[in-house]
Amino acid sequence: MLGRIAAVAAAGMLALAGSASAAITPGVQTYTDGGQCTANFVFEGAGDVYIGQAAHCAGTDGNTATNGCDACSLPLGTPVEVGGATRPGTLAYSSWLTMQGNGEDDADTCEFNDFALVRLDPADHGLVDPSVPFWGGPTGLVDVTTAGAKVVSYGNSSLRAGVTLLSPKEGVSLGQSGGGWTHAVATVSPGVPGDSGSGFMDKQGRAFGTLSTLQLAPLAGSNGVGDLSRELAYMHANGGPQAQLVNGTAPFRGPLLPLP
């Protein structure tokens, strides 16, 4: 089991939950040279504030390219439009670019390490709230979920045409695979294109994953979710920003359905 990575309390630079000025939250849309994704969580380190997205959001080889050790990506420094921000953010970390620079050859790591950070412009720090819409939290970070465990998420694809009732998602974990690098999850409703990168939490509000793929197996309509603890550990160990997950300021409201 990987060592746990501590989440930090909401930094003083971040807006309080519920504040009218909090325009940038988990779940906002990000646009990287036209590629649309959903932000997962807020991260902070060394005075910088970041919002997370999937590495493949900056990919240039199309939707079928999933192996981060082979797929092409836009470079670090690429401007990223972030929903609610007054200025573009900057692609500050990509697991794909890092793995390629390292010559990574572990098959599971190459296939499932799909994480990126967008550095927000300092002018927008006061617009950030780390709380996940609808659910609240995250309350921390966890590196294990078991098959059958409750999971929740918040997707915000424009394919839903602004129907926000479909944004909160609730379901179950179908278990880990890929050496612990990926979780299969089944939720109502499932993640769709544009939801890529969105964050997943367990029934206690602890962040555990980021949406990477739509899957046909083990269950049609299920999603592949990268393991956030491993993604962050890889980033920290390989020269990426030493940023930590920021806990939400709004209490986690918990699952709605009586499942495990």
Q: What is the pLDDT of residue 12?
A: 47
Q: Which helix or strand (DSSP H or E) is residue 45 part of?
A: strand 42-45
Range of the domain at 109: 29-131+231-245
Q: What is the pLDDT of residue 136?
A: 95
Predicted confidence (pLDDT) at residue 151 exceeds the cutoff of 60: yes
Backbone CA torsion sign across 75, 81, 84, 90: positive
Q: Please say whether the beta carbons of 71 and 56 come within 8 A.
A: yes
Helix, strand or coil, per DSSP, at residue 160 = helix
The whole-chain average pLDDT of the chain stands at 86
Give the pTM: 0.90
> Is 7 a domain residue?
no
Predicted confidence (pLDDT) at residue 71 exceeds the cutoff of 80: yes
Residues 184 and 100 grouped into a single domain: no
Q: What is the pLDDT of residue 90?
A: 98
- List pLDDT tens digits, range 194-243: 788 999 999 999 999 999 976 544 555 578 999 999 999 999 999 999 99
Residues 199 and 215 grouped into a single domain: yes
> Is 72 a domain residue?
yes
> Is 12 a domain residue?
no
CA separation for the pair 210, 155 (Å, rounded): 11
pLDDT confidence of 159, banded at 50, 70, 90?
low
Q: What is the pLDDT of residue 217?
A: 45
Residues 41 and 118 grouped into a single domain: yes
- List pLDDT tens digits, range 11-61: 445 554 445 568 999 999 999 998 899 999 999 999 999 999 999 999 999
CA separation for the pair 223, 217 (Å, rounded): 9
Q: What is the pLDDT of residue 254?
A: 83
Q: Please say whether the beta carbons of 242 and 236 come within 8 A.
A: yes
As given in the structure block, the two tokens for residue 107 are 């098959």
Q: Quick one: the chain helix, strand, coil %, rounded to 5?
A: 15, 30, 50
Predicted confidence (pLDDT) at residue 65 exceeds the cutoff of 90: no
Q: What is the pLDDT of residue 162?
A: 53
CA separation for the pair 156, 27 (Å, rounded): 6
> Is 2 a domain residue?
no
- List pLDDT tens digits, range 77-93: 999 999 999 999 999 99
Collect all residues with Cβ–Cβ distance below 8 Å to 134 and sequence separation of at least 6.
154, 167, 168, 253
Question: Rounded to 5 degrees, what are φ and ψ at 169?
Answer: -125, 140
CATH of the domain at 125: 2.40.10
Residues 157 and 84 grouped into a single domain: no
Q: Work out how many domains the chain is built from and give that number.
A: 2
As given in the structure block, the two tokens for residue 17 are 């939950």
Predicted confidence (pLDDT) at residue 5 exceeds the cutoff of 50: no
